[in-house]
Amino acid sequence: MCSNSVPILRNRLPVERSSCYANQLDHFIAVIRGEVAPVVTGRDATMTVAATLAIDRAAAAGRPVRIAEMLA
């Protein structure tokens, strides 16, 4: 055992039991109202959609598809 090692600790963390979709909708509404800042930028969202579409197109076409193709 390394002299710098730290023992593994077991710790229980509280878990919030809620719907992730309801939480997202609540956050979205708060952003629209100007109460909070968005978690991601518009560019981040665009890139996520482009990547998802590239995956779908690649699966359908049976070939690699670059994200840039989706942004053109």
54 within a domain of the structure (yes/no):
yes
State the pLDDT confidence band at 71, using cuts at 50, 70 and 90: very high
71 within a domain of the structure (yes/no):
yes
Show the tokens assigned to 27.
């956050």
12 within a domain of the structure (yes/no):
no
Among 13-17, 41-45, 57-61, 64-68, the minimum mean pLDDT is found in: 13-17
63 within a domain of the structure (yes/no):
yes
Q: Whole domain around residue 46: which residue ranges? A: 40-72
Tell me the C-alpha to C-alpha distance, in Å, between residue 9 and each of 2, 3, 30, 58: 17, 17, 38, 44
- If you average pLDDT over residues 24-53, what whole number do you get? 96
47 within a domain of the structure (yes/no):
yes
Residues 54 and 69 sit within 8 Å (Cβ to Cβ): yes
Does the pTM exceed 0.75? no
How many structural domains are present in the chain?
A: 1
